[in-house]
C-alpha cells in the first residue's frame, strides 16, 4: 500500500548528501542484558512482535535510520534520512500484522478533499507507507513529517506543569481548527490526549545535529542475540506550532456510532455509559490537553465500581446529567402499569406503592409505618 504525496522538501529539512552514512559500531554504552529498557518495559511486550530495527539500516531502498525517537505498545519510531529527496523524515515501524493500518486509509481520504479549509496544515498525516518482512511476520511502516515533543512532555519543562494562558489560547485554537477540519470531513479522531499533540519543528537544523551527534556519541543500547534495543534520543524543544497527530484510532463517522473508544482516563460520558456517540467525543478531552493533571481522579474503568466512582466525579463537577444520559427513558407510568384496580381504589393503592418505591432507602417507610397505610388497612377500619 502506498500514499501518493508531493515532493516533501517543502516541509522537511534537506540533508547534505544522498549517500548513506556509516554509523559507529563501537564506542557506545552496553546496557546490562538483564535490565529491561524501552519497549521491553511495557506490560504486554513480546520481542517477536517488534521488527529489529538497526541504526544505519536502509528501508525501501531510500530511508536510512539515523536514531531512535521513541516506542509504544504498537510501534517504534525513528528519525531517518530520505536519500532520494535528501531530507529527514520520521519512520514508525508497527508491530507485526497483516491488517491494513486505518491511519493510511484515512490519510489517503483526507488528501483527496479539494476544499481548502486551513486545518489540513494542523493535522499530521501519513506521508508514505510500505511493508517490511521481519523474522516473525510482516510489519507496516509509516512515514511522517518530523515533529517535536508532545504537549505532555512540554508541560513537564514548565514551572507550573501546565500551559500558561498565553500559550494555552493559541494552542487550543490550533487543535480546534484541526478538529473542525476532521469533523467536516466526517472523521472522528477518538484519541485526543496530550501525547497526540506535537510541537512543530521550526528550526530544521536540530535534525541534522541529532544525526551528526550519533556518529561520535552513539546512543546506549542492549545487544541481544536476535536484536539490538536502542535507547531513545531526546528531541530538543522546538517553537513550531502544534499539530494533531496519530490517526491510528480515527473513524469515519457520518452518523452516530456505538462501541468502546478512547483511553479510559479521557473517556467521554456517553462512551462510558454505553450510549451512541459522534464527533463530539473529541471535544470532551479539552481539559486534559492543557491543564495540570487529569480531570477525574479515578483513572481506571475496569469494573462496575470504577464506572460508578467516575460517574460520581462527573456529577460532582458538572451537576446532575440529563435523564437520557443515564438510560433511554421508556414512555410509561405507574398508573399505566397498574391494571387490576379502578377509580379511587387504584389511586390509594398507587399512593402506597409510591411510598415503597423510593430511590433513597432512608425515605422508604418501615414495615410498621406501612401497616397503617390507608390502602393496606382497606375497608376493615
Catalytic residues: 191
Question: Who's near 379: CB < 8 A, 6+ residues apart?
Answer: none
| CB neighbourhood size of 205 (10 A) | 9
The torsion of the CA quartet 99, 103, 104, 105, rounded to 10 degrees, works out to: 90
CA-CA distance, 156 to 293, in Å (whole number)? Answer: 11
Q: Is residue 182 within 8 Å of residue 250, measured between CB atoms?
A: yes
CA-CA distance, 252 to 107, in Å (whole number)? Answer: 11
CA-CA distance, 94 to 96, in Å (whole number)? Answer: 6
Chain Cα centroid distance, residue 193: 5
CA-CA distance, 288 to 36, in Å (whole number)? Answer: 30
Three cell numbers at 24?
Answer: 559507529
Helix (H, G, I), strand (E, B) or coil at 190: coil
Question: What does residue 148 show for φ and ψ, rounded to 5 degrees?
Answer: -90, -155
Rg of the chain on CA atoms, in Å: 28
Q: Is 67 exposed, middle or buried (0-12, 13-18, 19+ CB in 10 A)?
A: buried
CA-CA distance, 122 to 243, in Å (whole number)? Answer: 5
Question: Who's near 224: CB < 8 A, 6+ residues apart?
Answer: 33, 47
DSSP letter at 84? T
Amino acid at each position: 500500500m502506498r500514499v501518493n504525496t508531493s515532493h516533501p522538501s517543502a516541509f522537511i529539512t534537506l540533508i547534505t548528501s544522498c549517500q548513506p552514512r556509516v554509523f559507529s559500531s563501537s564506542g557506545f554504552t552496553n546496557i546490562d542484558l538483564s535490565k529491561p529498557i524501552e519497549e521491553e518495559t511495557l506490560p504486554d511486550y513480546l520481542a517477536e512482535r517488534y521488527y529489529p530495527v538497526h541504526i544505519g539500516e536502509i528501508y525501501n531502498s531510500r530511508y536510512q535510520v539515523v536514531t531512535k525517537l521513541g516506542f509504544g505498545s504498537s510501534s517504534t519510531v525513528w528519525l531517518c534520512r530520505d536519500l532520494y529527496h535528501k531530507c529527514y523524515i520520521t519512520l514508525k515501524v508497527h508491530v507485526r500484522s497483516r491488517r491494513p493500518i486505518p491511519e493510511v486509509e484515512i490519510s489517503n481520504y483526507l488528501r483527496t478533499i479539494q476544499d481548502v479549509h486551513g486545518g489540513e496544515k494542523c493535522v499530521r498525516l501519513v506521508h508514505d507507507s510500505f511493508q517490511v518482512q521481519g523474522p516473525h511476520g510482516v510489519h507496516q511502516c509509516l512515514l511522517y513529517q518530523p515533529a517535536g515533543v508532545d504537549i505532555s512532555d512540554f508541560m513537564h519543562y514548565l514551572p507550573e506543569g501546565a500551559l500558561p494562558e498565553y500559550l494555552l489560547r493559541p494552542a487550543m485554537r490550533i487543535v480546534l481548527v484541526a478538529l473542525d477540519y476532521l469533523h467536516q470531513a466526517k472523521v472522528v479522531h477518538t484519541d485526543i490526549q496530550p501525547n497526540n499533540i506535537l510541537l512543530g519543528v521550526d528550526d530544521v537544523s536540530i535534525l541534522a545535529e541529532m544525526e551528526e551527534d550519533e556518529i561520535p556519541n552513539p546512543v546506549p543500547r542492549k545487544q541481544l542475540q536476535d536484536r539490538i534495543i536502542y535507547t531513545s534520543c531526546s528531541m530538543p524543544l522546538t517553537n513550531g506550532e502544534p499539530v494533531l497527530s496519530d490517526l491510528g484510532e480515527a473513524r469515519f463517522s457520518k452518523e452516530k456510532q456505538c462501541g468502546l473508544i478512547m483511553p479510559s482516563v479521557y473517556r467521554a460520558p456517553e462512551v462510558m455509559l454505553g450510549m451512541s456517540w459522534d464527533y463530539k467525543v473529541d471535544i470532551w478531552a479539552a481539559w486534559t490537553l492543557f491543564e495540570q493533571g487529569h480531570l477525574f481522579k479515578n483513572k481506571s474503568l475496569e469494573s462496575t465500581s470504577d464506572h460508578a466512582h467516575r460517574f460520581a466525579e462527573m456529577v460532582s463537577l458538572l451537576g446532575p446529567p440529563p435523564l437520557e444520559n443515564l438510560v433511554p427513558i421508556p414512555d410509561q407510568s405507574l398508573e399505566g402499569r397498574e391494571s387490576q384496580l379502578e377509580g379511587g381504589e387504584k389511586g390509594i393503592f398507587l399512593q402506597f406503592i409510591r411510598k415503597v418505591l423510593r430511590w433513597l432507602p432512608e425515605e422508604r417507610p418501615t414495615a410498621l409505618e406501612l401497616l397503617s397505610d390507608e390502602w393496606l388497612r382497606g375497608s376493615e377500619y
